[in-house]
Amino acid sequence: MKSTNYLFTSESVSEGHPDKVADQISDAILDAFLAFDPNSKVACETLVTTGQVVIAGEVKSNAYIDVQDVTRGVINKIGYTKSEYKFDGDACGILSAIHEQSDDINRGVEREDPMEQGAGDQGMMFGYATNETDNFMPVSLDFAHQLLIELAEIRKEGKEMTYLRPDAKSQVTVEYNEQGMPERIHTIVVSTQHDEFILKDDAKSQAEVDAEMVSQIKRDVHNILIPRVVNKNPMIAKLMDDTYILHVNPTGKFVIGGPHGDTGLTGRKIIVDTYGGKGAHGGGAFSGKDPSKVDRSGAYAARHIAKNAVAAGVADEMLVQVSYAIGVAKPINLYVNTYGKSKVPFSDEEIAEKLGKLFDLRPKAIEERLKLRNPIYSESASYGHMGRMPQTIKKNFTSRYSAPMEIEVELFTWEKLDYIDPIRNAFAINS
């Protein structure tokens, strides 16, 4: 009988990718405003290109921050610290065009009763979860992220692959069986920016030198990068065999990269930020937006619902949609799709109704439940907003306009499995 196995692919980009540089700047500015004024309303967009950063957006806040200091700190932390990159934190130009938030928007959001705060915009947001991985994420995206997290770690350690530069991309193709479960890693693609670490001489042509560099990078990806990732991830190790296809820098030399090689914009990697193409996406980006913007808070809430529902045993896979009208507190709808993988005796409509009673999806309720009025967003701006490890850390903020602050914050609260018991009780699931 003919096999019905299929292939599915997801991509990721590194913290040095120009679009991610833009995201990280936008979220760092958001965090700085929230640190000094938790009630700040922020919509911050960033463009990065050769030697230049342009920041624009709308802000309502009692805090004053030094946009230039924050921006340069982000760029230097990523690793753009050399003039030869044509984009470095100490020397790049920074143009700020931030202005006051529109009163027309503000009057639709703020209310005398905070719990009746209206949504900051219309739109639909999706959350997704699958039990094919321990963090309830698609394995193709999870592996793609892990490759680039480890590549950045190797670069910052400076002991191996010392030619690495900050910009990089990865792509992972997974073969799924007839039941829709991952069987093996089919293809891995890694493209990484690098130094000109082999120089042309009279004995070799430029093409030969370029081919030698690519060959060395491919050996290092195969022998250093991938083993380090696999050794840290037993689930991925089970899917690896000797038959996978590996492409490394398939176009050849990749010296020119980062914002010098390609202009970067906030919000242009929304699939990398979410589920790698699985489930669905409403189209709204996250970075630079405070939680009154339901593009962000609604998507986090939908992920929180889907992850806890799958973890509780409602279904093996779940998509959750929530939608809003601008200025209206209550969502227009809550939709659930279990893809025929429900494990409870209820229709998807009935599942949605039960979940809607457990989770208050008014914007202010989401903010409070997930503690979103804290400076927690910089950490989400690279390597995905979903599937991350919840943790409590201390963050320090400085400003020439205010006293330094140390704030303890809880990161990735929407990833907490804190509603399993209420969901199991609502669906009469035995633990």
Task: Please check if 364 is assigned to a binding site.
Answer: no
Task: Please check if 186 is assigned to a binding site.
Answer: no
Task: Please check if 269 is assigned to a binding site.
Answer: yes
Task: Please check if 416 is assigned to a binding site.
Answer: no
Candidates 166, 165, 183; CA nearest to 174 is: 183
Task: Please check if 169 is assigned to a binding site.
Answer: yes
Which distant-in-sequence residues (6+ apart) come within 8 Å of 112 by Cβ? none
The three-class DSSP label of residue 208 is: helix
Task: Please check if 262 is assigned to a binding site.
Answer: yes
Alpha-carbon span 261 to 259, nearest angstrom: 5
As a whole number of Å, the CA-based R_g of the chain is 23
Task: Please check if 254 is assigned to a binding site.
Answer: yes
Q: How deeply is 415 buried, as exposed, middle or buried, from its count of CB atoms within 10 A (0-12, 13-18, 19+)?
A: buried
Candidates 275, 300, 271; CA nearest to 376 is: 300
The three-point CA angle 299-42-33 to 5° equals 115
Task: Please check if 222 is assigned to a binding site.
Answer: no
Task: Please check if 307 is assigned to a binding site.
Answer: no
Q: Are 27 and 380 in contact (CB under 8 A)?
A: yes
Alpha-carbon span 324 to 109, nearest angstrom: 12
Task: Please check if 395 is assigned to a binding site.
Answer: no
Task: Please check if 289 is assigned to a binding site.
Answer: yes
Alpha-carbon span 315 to 317, nearest angstrom: 5
**Residues making up the binding site:** 17, 19, 45, 58, 101, 167-169, 253-254, 262, 268-269, 285, 289, 293
**Residues making up the binding site for Mg(2+):** 19
**Residues making up the binding site for L-methionine:** 58, 101, 262, 293
**Residues making up the binding site for ATP:** 17, 167-169, 253-254, 262, 268-269, 285, 289
**Residues making up the binding site for K(+):** 45
